Structure 1
Amino acid sequence: MRTMLLLLGLSLAIYGCSSGNKVIHSSDTNKNDTIRIANDSLEYQIIIIEQGFDTWLLSQPPRGFYDQSYLEAKNRMFVTDYNSRVRQPSNSRNIYSDEINYDPRVDYGYEVNYLLYNYFVYFQEKYKQHLTGGRN
């Protein structure tokens, strides 16, 4: 029994120390969809809270359809345009909330770029916006 508890404790400690991208999906038809992407070693976090995003994402090209360099290039354009609109709230119907801190020199990995790209596509469709770079 003591050995079993020790192994369980050790397993939990190792699992708790693991790093890397962690994606947590939670959706409920009565609540907003929430997707959280975090990487403690790079000290960044993205939280996407948009009703319907999780379901919409299922209808999009799957992971691997675009390569990471394509997604990074699109995200650089989208973030630049989005942040510009955040700084000019009188011209943007109050749908642009906080600036997105996306540093093109940081390798955020495929998953972050994939989800961020798809969020921008979703955002443009939902709010009838056109960000520089468009969808394709």
Structure 2
Amino acid sequence: MKNLFYVCILALAIYSCGSGKERNFEQKEQTAMANDTVRIANDSLEYEIIIIEPGFNLFINSIAKPRGYYSQTYLENKNRFLVPEYNARVTQPQRFNPNLYIQEINYNPNIDYGYEVNYMLYNYFVFFSREYNQRFSVPTRI
């Protein structure tokens, strides 16, 4: 009788581990990718930033400082130093992980990209440094 009780408990535990419905992981991944794509465009100047990074959308909406916290001048100054360092790492795949530093960022500090573009670019660097434990010479903290 005692063994029958243990067998029933074991059978119930195995049954409860089974999946109740089919799961489509491929669709979830596509949905997550669509949700983690952020496009910022300055249509009047014809500049845009497209950030495709898992977790960035959550970061920008919950962890990052709100828009207006930093001045545009502050963001431009940070980006003026962060972009060249990032681009230098892109050109040194033997020294830095080429899976992290994939493509150079075309950023000209003499162009006024507007607040939103500078805000998103700076916060991408903050996210990138936190997510991948990368240190830049210019501190990127929140």
Q: Look up the match of 2:113.
A: 108
Contact residue 48 and residue 117 of structure 2 kept, 8 A = no
Mapping of residues 50-69 of structure 1, within 5 Å = 50-57=53-60, 58-69=62-73
User: Which residue identity does 2:84 align to in structure 1?
Assistant: T
Q: Look up the match of 1:86.
A: 90
Is 1:120 matched with 2:121?
Answer: no
- 1:73 Cα deviation after fit: 0.6
Higher strand share: 1
Is 1:74 matched with 2:74?
Answer: no
Higher helix share: 2
CA RMSD of aligned residues (A): 1.6
Q: Look up the match of 2:32.
A: 31
Is 1:44 matched with 2:28?
Answer: no
Q: What is the TM-score of this pair, normalised by structure 2?
A: 0.71
SS of alignment partner, residue 114 of structure 1: helix
Contact residue 39 and residue 48 of structure 2 kept, 8 A = yes
Q: Look up the match of 2:102.
A: 97
Contact residue 42 and residue 117 of structure 2 kept, 8 A = no
Contact residue 42 and residue 114 of structure 2 kept, 8 A = no
Q: Which structure has the greater CA radius of gyration?
A: 2
* Structure with the larger RCO, 1 or 2 (CA within 8 Å, 6+ apart): 2
| Unpaired segments ≥5 residues, structure 2 | 1-27
User: Which residue identity does 2:104 align to in structure 1?
Assistant: E
Q: How many percent identity over aligned positions?
A: 54
Aligned pair in 2 of structure 1 residues 61, 40: CA closer, same or farther (>3 Å)? closer
SS of alignment partner, residue 38 of structure 2: strand
Q: What is the TM-score of this pair, normalised by structure 1?
A: 0.74
Offset from partner CA, 1:78-134 (integer Å, 9 cap, x none): 101000001111111111011101011110011111111000000001111011211
User: Which residue identity does 1:36 align to in structure 2?
Assistant: R
